[in-house]
Amino acid sequence: MESSRVTVLMYHRVGENVHNDWERRYCISPARFESHLRALESAGMVPCTVERFIAWVEGSATLPERSFVLTFDDGYYGVYEHAFPLLAAMRWPATVFLVTGLIGKDDAWTATENPAGRTCRLLGAGEIRKMYESGFSFHSHTRSHPDLRKLSPQALREELTGARQDLEELLGRPSGFLAYPYGWFDDAVVEAAKATGYAAAFSTQPGFNRRDVDRYRIRRLDVFGTDTASALLRKMALGTNDGSWWHTVRYYCERVAARL
């Protein structure tokens, strides 16, 4: 049966070394990440590439029921170290949205966001090429991870165009897709994404994606490092960032009440 809706999952860092609740939100342990993959597999979920997903949105491809897309924002080294071997062994596709001006460096933008004040290593060119050759896809998360809404028109164009150029230099092809840093955008940012050659852009708004979704406002579910495998499946069942049992019970109670 063809899918009528597709869920896009958003992860960030994969690793063990966490120091506070902020890091626990954005960093998932390798063991927990593996439990997520096994739960998805057991539930019959079908991973698809981001390219085929966008083709489905455009009406030029079909996807089986229970299809989903796996994405990682920022391009942390831990994705190569921990997630890549698991996904390669399962032959599951995934997409990484890279901050192209910081390849091989640290996530400088988090220095003031993380209460611990620490930064973490990002993927280098060698790791990116190896993952790309094994089937991972890489797309734009801009050059420096700014709030795009606050940039001048020229700076906005440079962030978006520059990231596409960086990826073309690294991998031989420009990026076709964009993930908005922080998920923040407005009409001017959307128009700039279109004007600079992006075919689609991904937000952090939760929910399901159906074929009528705006290609520059693709929805994604935020997967937290504290999410158990069962919480992840509940999130995907309801199209929400809240995977708690309480939210699930309330959702179904409200549906029953509406029918009555």
Model pLDDT for residues 234-244, shown as the tens digit of each residue: 999 999 999 78
Domain annotation covers residue 236:
no
Q: How far apart are CA 237 and CA 260, in angstroms?
A: 22
Find the CATH number of the domain harbouring 86.
3.20.20.370
**How many structural domains compose the chain?**
1
Domain annotation covers residue 2:
no
Domain annotation covers residue 188:
yes
CA torsion sign for 225, 230, 234, 239 is: positive
Residue 255 has pLDDT above 70, yes or no: no
- CB under 8 Å to 193, separation ≥6 — which residues? 160, 178, 185, 201, 216
Q: For residue range 60-76, what is the model confidence (pLDDT) as tens digits? A: 999 999 999 999 999 99
pLDDT at position 244: 80
pLDDT at position 258: 60
Residue 250 has pLDDT above 80, yes or no: no
Q: For residue range 95-145, what is the model confidence (pLDDT) as tens digits? A: 999 999 999 999 999 999 999 999 999 999 999 999 999 999 999 999 999
pLDDT at position 254: 59
Question: What is the rounded average pLDDT of the residues 27-49?
Answer: 98
259 pLDDT band (50/70/90 cuts)? Answer: low
Q: Are 214 and 191 in contact (CB under 8 A)?
A: no
Mean pLDDT of the chain: 94
Q: For residue range 152-167, what is the model confidence (pLDDT) as tens digits? A: 999 999 999 999 999 9
pLDDT at position 153: 98
195 pLDDT band (50/70/90 cuts)? Answer: very high
Domain annotation covers residue 147:
yes
Q: How far apart are CA 21 and CA 65, in angstroms?
A: 35
Q: Are 150 and 187 in contact (CB under 8 A)?
A: no
Domain that holds residue 78: 7-227
257 pLDDT band (50/70/90 cuts)? Answer: low
pLDDT at position 59: 95
Domain annotation covers residue 232:
no
pLDDT at position 35: 98
Domain annotation covers residue 50:
yes
**How many residues make up the chain in this entry?**
260
pLDDT at position 247: 63
pLDDT at position 187: 98
pLDDT at position 252: 52
Query: What are the two backbone dihedrals, phi and then psi, of residue 54, each rounded to the nearest 5 degrees?
Result: -65, -35
Domain annotation covers residue 260:
no
pLDDT at position 17: 83
Residue 38 has pLDDT above 60, yes or no: yes
249 pLDDT band (50/70/90 cuts)? Answer: low
Residue 10 has pLDDT above 60, yes or no: yes
Residue 253 has pLDDT above 80, yes or no: no
- pTM comes to 0.94
Domain annotation covers residue 153:
yes
